[in-house]
Amino acid sequence: MSALLEVEGLQKHFPVRSGVFNRITGAIRVVEGVSFSVDKGKTFALVGESGCGKTTAGRTILRLHEPTGGSVRLAGVDLAALEGEGLRTARRDMQMVFQNPFGSLNPRMKVGKLLEEPLVVHGIASGKRAQEMVDAMMEKVGLAAEFGRRYPHQFSGGQRQRIAIARALMCSPKLVIADEPVSALDVSIQSQILNLLVDLRTELGLTYVFISHDLNVVRRISDAIGVMYLGRLVERAETGALYERPLHPYSEALLSAVPSLEPSKRKERIILSGDVPNPASPPPGCVFHPRCPKAMEVCRRSVPPDKEPSPGRLVACHLY
Amino acid sequence: MKQFFAELLRDKTGRVGLAGVLAVVVVAVFAPLIATHDPLEMSDFLRQAPGAGFLLGTDEFGRDVFSRLVYGARVSVYVGLVATGIGAIGGLALGLAAGYYGGVVDNVIMRLMDVLFAFPSILLALAIVAVLGPDLGNTIIAIGIVRIPVFTRTVRAEVLSVKAQEYITSVRSIGVKDGRVILRHVLPNVMAPFIVQTTLSLSSAILVEASLSFLGLGIQPPNPSWGSMLSESRRIMELAPWTAIAPTVAIILAILSFNLLGDGVRDILDPKLKNVE
Amino acid sequence: MNTLLSVQGLSIGLATRGAKASIVDDASFEVGQGEVFGIVGESGCGKSVTAYAVAGLLASPPLSVESGSIMMGGVDLLSLPPSRMRSVRGKDIGMIFQEPMTALDPLYTIGEQIAESLEFHAKVGKREGIERAVAMLGKVGIPEPRRIAAEYPHRLSGGMLQRVVIAIAMINEPRLLIADEPTTALDVTIQAQILDLMNGLVRSNGMSMIMITHDLGVVAETCDRVAVFYGGHLVETAPVDRIFSDPLHPYTEGLRKSVASIGDRDGKLYAIPGSVPKAGSFGPGCRFQGRCARRMERCGREAPPVSIRPDGRSVRCWLYGEEA
């Protein structure tokens, strides 16, 4: 099977401006060389803590940010090369679901209009035909058709996220990037939305990039995972393999930090000391070395290269 | 819209303000019916005290103060509306552009606004009228231009906060063109503070007109405006105080009404002041 | 175990335009000396207001205690005048909040803010206050405590600030610590640090703690006993291991299953259908009935009473109603 999405060496730097004339005086490397590919019908998860660059990576893939370097190919088409009308057309194939269902829907538009907009914008359908498609999609995500006449604030968080998902799927995209789609929801609602995403993936043949900080959630939905730390992809593996035996010390600590659901097994956890460094002035060498329990002399000096300990697996650490 | 007026009427401030503003507008529109004399006609009764013949007395040329006041309301309402309209529309366009596009566009627009802002508004209006020549049309343009920076700033600040909302990113990710994003998604969400600003701005525009006319740069004699009436009353203030008191009271009441209305509108439209649902 | 805090029949109402909505209805629980007591539930279930009522920090109006008692050390906290309650708070009860950024005043240094509580309650001078603040900062694991004490809050990361908030809560050695979602705003690796710290401090000082959270993982990691809230009702209390191994209330069971179905990736995830009820808008009968897999005809008519089981656990469900 060929990959639907291929991300190669993706970089996104934000300029640091200072002074009266807003001159560029430096760059924050928010995403620094991220590579992965996702096969059609699969889910790839990007995990990491706040500020690791996972959200920026997702948005850069969709060209909501202009990439600084690297390439993104969707079904073989280089997205970075697209401009203007070509890019706008390509957006039909790639959609995004956002974290906060309270902020991602225009409060002054009725739900029906919100769902219709993608169809109108891309000239797919209008009028009665569009209305039928909206109703069908509402049903697909588990909402009654008459909800279309209401405003977003009349819905609960879970229902709003269903609306946001419906809107993303209106023009039959190939790729959906879901940025923390369940983080803002109550625990008992999260599973409903995850199930919906899984069902829709099967039914519509979607491919997901799932961005999350929650390792419990990621484990339940993804086929492969990329762990990010300070803009770098430190490890990439099949989901099962990663949870069984994380290779990178950061992945190991991250997994270990997740509270266990069995009180009888309060485990001895690896507790990382210190905080995530400021991305504007990352430490030299391996960016993780100041917090790494296994740091060696070499980690302070040189950036670890990407290694492939087994086919398809990637780890960026001097231990391997 | 219906709900908006219902809420406005429930609000005490809004109710009083609306009543006052409506009164001024009615007077302005029906001036010929309300006025008891021709405002330009000079009678033989000079500096007559208020009484049965002349409701608010006469000025030094024997013109009826009440009728001049009524016709003056026309000027005030007209200037207020048109000048605010110029400022509001100009500011809305500039603010949307500056806030949405950012970067160079933002820098150029906002530095220009800073310069406009740096002058006291009366001085700036004076300068514009001095260049264009003193007549009512030019006064209105001048007052309108002076109002632009206030609107630009309000709108731009609001656009920035709306732009940071996820639904704007969401719309962009769908592939909506900039024009549509601005008109369909940004504009409706910045309307509330914009409308509040517009209501509050009406009173300032009226005040600036009165000041300009007072300085002799607004409406030209013998046509009445509240500012010019006040100006003409200076010479005879001791002899005929009513010629000064009447326009002063009119200006104060009108400004107060517009401001109360503005506060009422803000109470309704500003979600930050609203009770949480 | 001796009882430190006893809450009986607590009901909390919310005044809205003309009407009064019930936010918490008839909640009873006890917290033992040295016990870590978890209160778990979803948004709008009443878990936070319950704890805020204990601390006398209800936003009143619109919130107010309608009935019930909150006994601590033989005194009903609800009967205390505000001035007495102020001296209880901080001295006997310490609070830790969800957002450390907003829990600290940006205009005072870290040291001043810790010392302030000490000056108010322990009547020590400013100089000694700062000294003890520095010592406390060391205890909560802040490196270079003397330097940090002189810093302002915005200079510190979220994890560090939460340590400061913990230091403030603990400086007067209160008997009860109330932690409202203390790690929700933090990253996982920082959460692990903070939970570890809190566990250590509470256990070594023999304090009691109420841990309010929506995260069953946090409950499993820290608590001895747990109360589960749903829709303003306390639906179940039980020792922590029993909550996970043998939940009684269908909601507790559903909640556990919907987060714990990790590993069984082949099938569908377990999900409780329906949506979380909005605070204050509860219908008649059991509040979970609309989403419950084991709903009976009776559940729609009458709200179930609280039944106390032989082993001391309590549950509010008709499945166990007859045994009461």
SS3 A212: strand
Most A-contacting residue of B174, B182, B194, B195 (CB-CB within 10 A), to test interface: B174
A207 touches chain B (CB under 8 A): no
- The pLDDT-based confidence of C263 (bands split at 50, 70, 90) is very low
Do residues C46 and C229 touch, judged by C-beta distance below 8 A? Answer: yes
pLDDT mean over B136-162? 89
C191 touches chain A (CB under 8 A): yes
* Min Cα–Cα distance to chain A from B165, Å: 6
Q: What is the pLDDT of residues C51-89, one digit of tens each?
A: 989 988 887 778 888 889 999 988 898 888 888 888 888
- Specify burial of residue A313 (Cβ count, 10 A radius: 0-12, 13-18, 19+): middle
SS3 A174: coil
Q: Which residue of C has its CA nearest to A258?
A: C188
On the question of pLDDT at A263 being above 90, the answer is no
> What is the edge-to-edge ordering of all strands in the sheet holding A69-74?
A23-39, A3-18, A69-74, A77-78
Q: How many CA atoms lie within 13 A of A193 on its CB side?
A: 30
Compute CA B62 distance to the chain's CA centroid, rounded to the nearest angstrom. 31
Do residues C272 and C248 touch, judged by C-beta distance below 8 A? Answer: no
On the question of pLDDT at A217 being above 50, the answer is yes
Q: Which of B165, B170, B180 is opposite residue A96, by nearest beta carbon? A: B170
- Please judge whether A164 and B170 are an interchain contact, meaning their C-beta atoms are less than 8 angstroms apart: yes
Compute CA A182 distance to the chain's CA centroid, rounded to the nearest angstrom. 12
pLDDT mean over A63-79? 91
Q: Phi and psi for C144 in degrees, rounded to 5?
A: 50, 60
* Residue C8 β-bridge partners: C69
* Min Cα–Cα distance to chain C from A174, Å: 23
Nearest by Cα to C37 from C197, C222, C170: C222
Do residues B100 and B163 touch, judged by C-beta distance below 8 A? Answer: yes
B170 touches chain A (CB under 8 A): yes
pLDDT of residue C240: 92
C244 touches chain A (CB under 8 A): yes
Please report, as a single letter, which amino acid is at residue A4: L
Q: What is the pLDDT of residues C230-247, one digit of tens each?
A: 999 999 999 999 998 889
Question: Domains plus CATH for chain C?
Answer: 3-225+236-283 (3.40.50.300)
Q: Which of B167, B174, B177 is opposite residue A105, by nearest beta carbon? A: B167
Do residues C28 and C315 touch, judged by C-beta distance below 8 A? Answer: no
pLDDT mean over A144-161? 89
In sequence order, what are the residues at sequence separation of 6 or more whose Cβ sits closer than 8 angstroms to the Cβ of residue C155? none
Reading the block at residue B129, the tokens are: 């009228």
SS3 C24: strand
Average pLDDT, chain B: 84
pLDDT of residue B277: 32
Residue A208 parent element (H or E): strand A207-212
Distance between CA A112 and CA A135 in Å, rounded? 8
Neighbours of chain A (3+ CB pairs under 8 A): B, C
Q: How far is CA C286 from CA A188, C232, C317, in A?
A: 18, 11, 8
Instruction: For residue B170, list chain A residues with Cβ-Cβ distance below 8 A.
Output: 96, 98, 104-105, 164, 167
- Please judge whether C217 and A260 are an interchain contact, meaning their C-beta atoms are less than 8 angstroms apart: yes
Instruction: For residue B166, list chain A residues with Cβ-Cβ distance below 8 A.
Output: 98-100, 103-104
pLDDT of residue A45: 96
Reading the block at residue B27, the tokens are: 């007077």
On the question of pLDDT at A157 being above 50, the answer is yes
Extended strands (E) in C57-144: 63-72, 75-76, 93-96
pLDDT of residue C261: 58
Annotate chain B with DSSP letters as a single string. Answer: -HHHHHHHHHSHHHHHHHHHHHHHHHHHHTHHHH-SS-TT---S-TTPPSSSSSTT-B-TT--BHHHHHHHHHHHHHHHHHHHHHHHHHHHHHHHHHHHHH-HHHHHHHHHHHHHHHHS-HHHHHHHHHHHH-SSHHHHHHHHHHHHHHHHHHHHHHHHHHHHTSHHHHHHHHHT--HHHIIIIIIHHHHHHHHHHHHHHHHHHHHHHHHHHHHTTSSSPTTS--HHHHHHHHGGGTTT-THHHHHHHHHHHHHHHHHHHHHHHHHHHH-GGGSPP-
pLDDT mean over B150-162? 92
* Superfamily of A3-315 according to CATH: P-loop containing nucleotide triphosphate hydrolases (3.40.50.300)
On the question of pLDDT at A1 being above 70, the answer is no
Average pLDDT, chain C: 86
Most B-contacting residue of A106, A154, A167, A169 (CB-CB within 10 A), to test interface: A106
Neighbours of chain C (3+ CB pairs under 8 A): A
Do residues B58 and B45 touch, judged by C-beta distance below 8 A? Answer: yes
Do residues B147 and B88 touch, judged by C-beta distance below 8 A? Answer: yes
- Please judge whether B169 and A121 are an interchain contact, meaning their C-beta atoms are less than 8 angstroms apart: no
pLDDT of residue B273: 47
Nearest by Cα to C98 from C171, C176, C161: C161
Instruction: For residue C223, list chain A residues with Cβ-Cβ distance below 8 A.
Output: 263
- Counting residues of chain C whose pLDDT is more than 90, the rounded percentage is 28
On the question of pLDDT at B51 being above 90, the answer is no
pLDDT mean over C136-164? 88
Least confident range from B179-183, C56-60, C96-100: namely: C56-60
Instruction: For residue A49, list chain C residues with Cβ-Cβ distance below 8 A.
Output: 187-190
pLDDT of residue B276: 34
On the question of pLDDT at C324 being above 60, the answer is no
pLDDT mean over A204-210? 94
Q: What is the pLDDT of residues B233-272, one digit of tens each?
A: 888 878 888 888 888 898 899 889 988 888 888 777 765 4
On the question of pLDDT at B140 being above 50, the answer is yes
CA angle C251/C281/C71 to nearest 5° reads 70
pLDDT of residue B235: 81
Instruction: For residue A198, list chain C residues with Cβ-Cβ distance below 8 A.
Output: 268-269
pLDDT of residue B148: 92
Extended strands (E) in chain C: 3-15, 20-32, 36-40, 63-72, 75-76, 93-96, 176-180, 208-213, 225-230, 233-239, 306-308, 314-316
Question: Domains plus CATH for chain B?
Answer: 2-273 (1.10.3720.10)
- The pLDDT-based confidence of C1 (bands split at 50, 70, 90) is low
**Positive or negative, the Cα torsion across A253, A258, A260, A263?**
positive
Do residues C20 and C14 touch, judged by C-beta distance below 8 A? Answer: yes
pLDDT of residue A249: 94
Count CB-CB contacts under 10 A for residue C12.
24
Region label for A229, one of left (φ > 0), alpha (ψ between -120 and 50) or beta (otherwise): beta
A62 touches chain B (CB under 8 A): yes
On the question of pLDDT at A25 being above 80, the answer is no
On the question of pLDDT at B89 being above 90, the answer is yes
Indicate the angle between helix axes B65-101 and B103-118, nearest 10 degrees.
150
* Min Cα–Cα distance to chain A from C87, Å: 35
**Positive or negative, the Cα torsion across C85, C90, C93, C99?**
positive
On the question of pLDDT at A168 being above 90, the answer is yes
pLDDT mean over A133-161? 90
Do residues A233 and A239 touch, judged by C-beta distance below 8 A? Answer: no
Q: Which of A187, A220, A257 is opposite residue C261, by nearest beta carbon? A: A220
Place of tokens 């169809």: A119
ipTM tops the 0.85 cut: no
Encode burial over C276-312: b for 16+ CB neighbours within 10 A, e otherwise: bbebbebeebbbbbbbbeebeeebeeebbebbeeeee
Q: Phi and psi for A16 in degrees, rounded to 5?
A: -100, 120
Residue pairs between chains A and B whose CB atoms are closer than 8 Å:
61
- Counting residues of chain C whose pLDDT is more than 70, the rounded percentage is 95
Reading the block at residue B49, the tokens are: 């005290």
pLDDT of residue B275: 39
Do residues B77 and B85 touch, judged by C-beta distance below 8 A? Answer: no
B3 touches chain A (CB under 8 A): no
Q: How many CA atoms lie within 13 A of A184 on its CB side?
A: 19
Residues 38-77 of C with CB under 8 A from A: 42-43
- What is the three-state SS of B52-95? CCCCCCECCCCCEHHHHHHHHHHHHHHHHHHHHHHHHHHHHHHH
Q: How far is CA A39 from CA A75, A194, A234, C56, C67, in A?
A: 10, 20, 21, 56, 60
Neighbours of chain B (3+ CB pairs under 8 A): A
- The pLDDT-based confidence of B85 (bands split at 50, 70, 90) is very high
Q: Which of A194, A215, A273 is opposite residue C269, by nearest beta carbon? A: A194
> What is the edge-to-edge ordering of all strands in the sheet holding A224-229?
A94-97, A175-179, A207-212, A43-47, A224-229, A232-238, A314-315
Q: What is the pLDDT of residues A280-307, one digit of tens each?
A: 888 889 999 999 999 999 999 999 999 9
